[in-house]
């Protein structure tokens, strides 16, 4: 029996074991061991033995040739199709339509990258003091006219164009418009712009006033001051003492000189002097 059992295993499954009492093996047919071929196996079970059913040649015992099956199998991989139905194995599910990754963001009002609907329906990029309005899908941008700035361009959606009036070469003040001042309140068109708050006088603002008045860099100096009758200092000034300035004009920015302006009669330091009460004012 041990020999028979070893032979069955080494023959690659040419016999089937259906009981423990007796095994009978027929000769292997051609191509024995081929996964595509089978052979008849006869299992002899003594009469009255209840250890296994009587099996006739040609019956399906696992490795033998199976009898023709006329039933319709249920294939779980095909969505559980029931026998006898004409439904297709798979019922395709239509996927929802998706917009391509390169398509613009659309809404009921059209593209949200347009200047008429910038980031939201009805958000219009208004080219005030500007040309060439554009929208990147969330905020507007512009080409400003020469004397205007777009200082809120970092805050979406920026629909107001170039909202800040400024001189050529002026700059925004941390997202805010530059502040307008006058280097001489008696002179029309004497406006200059910087980031010093209106009503504030300091050395920075006095230098800006002087540079705007002269119109040429490097012609103004800080460090001038005035003294009173007792010799005590009464205030500081910035004066246009450079050779390129047409006259030495001084701008007082602290003490009793705050906001007072002295316009000298000629060039050079010799023509600089302290402003007096009643002299012109600046800012």
pLDDT at 108: 85
Beta carbons of 22 and 44 less than 8 angstroms apart: yes
Range of weakest confidence among 80-84, 112-116, 192-196, 239-243? 80-84
Report angle CA 242, 211, 256 to the nearest 5 degrees.
90
Neighbours of 196 (CB within 10 A): 19
For tokens 């209840």, the residue is: 50
pLDDT at res. 77: 43
The residue that leads in pLDDT, 280 or 43, is 280
Residue 18 has pLDDT above 50, yes or no: no
pLDDT score of 247 more than 50: yes
Residues β-bridged to residue 111:
106
Look at residue 88 and tell me whether its pLDDT is greater than 60: no
């Amino acid at each position: 029996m041990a020999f028979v059992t070893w032979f069955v295993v080494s023959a690659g499954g040419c016999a089937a074991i259906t009981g423990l009492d007796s095994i009978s093996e027929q000769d292997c047919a051609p191509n024995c061991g081929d996964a595509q071929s089978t052979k008849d196996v006869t299992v002899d079970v003594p009469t009255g033995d209840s250890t296994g059913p009587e099996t006739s040649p040609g019956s399906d015992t696992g490795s033998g040739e199976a009898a023709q099956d006329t039933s319709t199998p249920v294939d779980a991989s095909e969505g559980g199709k029931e026998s006898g139905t004409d439904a297709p194995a798979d019922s395709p599910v239509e996927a929802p339509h998706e917009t391509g990754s390169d398509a613009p963001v659309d809404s009921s009002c059209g593209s949200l990258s347009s200047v008429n609907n910038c980031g939201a329906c009805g958000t219009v990029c208004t080219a005030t003091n500007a040309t060439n309005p554009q929208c990147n899908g969330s905020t507007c941008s512009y080409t400003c006219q020469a004397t205007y700035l777009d200082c809120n361009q970092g805050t979406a959606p920026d629909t107001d164009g170039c909202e800040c009036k400024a001189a050529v070469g002026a700059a925004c003040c941390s997202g805010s418009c530059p502040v307008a001042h006058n280097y001489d309140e008696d002179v029309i068109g004497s406006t200059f712009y910087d980031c010093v708050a209106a009503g504030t006088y300091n050395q920075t603002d006095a230098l800006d006033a002087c540079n705007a008045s002269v119109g040429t860099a490097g012609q103004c100096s800080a460090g001038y001051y005035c003294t009173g009758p007792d010799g005590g200092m009464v205030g500081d000034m910035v004066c246009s003492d450079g050779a390129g300035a047409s006259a030495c004009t001084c701008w007082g920015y602290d003490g009793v000189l705050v906001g007072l302006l002295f316009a000298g009669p000629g060039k050079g330091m010799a023509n600089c002097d302290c402003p007096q009460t009643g002299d012109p004012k600046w800012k």
